[in-house]
């Protein structure tokens, strides 16, 4: 947090972190992804073997949310230990049409967990909000990679 003490004099460390989280929230792009980006992501995911897919962070412990190809389509789940472990499906999509229909209306803001109207992504957990979540940039990087991870 740049200049946290100067920007919020008299606030505790926790209060400064919370205030900075709100600044970051307000910078999130709210422009919907539209249909073309999710269509390309789906098609790239279909080149992955089941159990692999879009894992943005490769480090130990919690690595954020990812999109993993399954036998039946694609699931959104939490990723752990650099993709070696995935959590239970938060939700899943059995078809390109369903996936594109859902993600076309999403944005960095809705995927961050801050959008309380999102039945899939919303959370009250301050640590989980905007913590290694799906973003337009992350989706673009995934489709630009030569080999899927």
- pLDDT for residue 2 is more than 60: no
Angle ∠(115,121,124) on CA atoms, nearest 5:
65
Its pTM stands at: 0.82
Q: Give the residue-averaged pLDDT of 43-72.
A: 85
Token pair 């269509």 is at which residue? Answer: 39
Residue 149 maps to a domain: no
Residue 21 maps to a domain: no
Per the structure, how many domains does the chain have? 1
Residue 20 maps to a domain: no
Confidence label for 83 from pLDDT (cuts 50, 70 and 90): low
Through-space distance between the first and last CA atoms of the chain, rounded to whole angstroms: 31
Residue 62 maps to a domain: yes
Residue 15 maps to a domain: no
E-only strand ranges, the chain: 53-54, 62-70, 73-80, 85-93
Residue 135 maps to a domain: yes
Encoding tokens for residue 135? 């973003």
Q: Which domain holds residue 65?
A: 31-144
Higher pLDDT, 84 or 136: 136
């Amino acid at each position: 947090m740049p200049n946290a003490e100067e920007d919020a004099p008299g606030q505790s460390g926790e209060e400064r972190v919370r205030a900075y989280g709100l600044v970051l929230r307000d910078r999130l792009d709210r422009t919907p992804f539209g249909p073309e980006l999710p269509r390309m992501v789906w098609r790239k995911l279909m080149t992955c073997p089941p159990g692999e897919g879009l894992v943005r962070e490769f480090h130990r412990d919690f690595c954020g949310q990812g999109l993993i190809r399954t036998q039946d389509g694609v699931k959104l789940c939490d990723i752990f230990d650099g993709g070696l472990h995935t959590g239970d499906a938060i939700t899943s999509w059995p078809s390109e049409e369903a996936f594109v229909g859902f993600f076309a209306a999403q944005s960095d803001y809705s995927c961050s967990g801050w959008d309380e109207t999102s039945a899939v992504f919303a959370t009250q957990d301050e640590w989980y909000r905007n913590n290694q979540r799906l973003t337009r940039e992350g989706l673009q990087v995934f489709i630009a990679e030569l080999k899927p991870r």
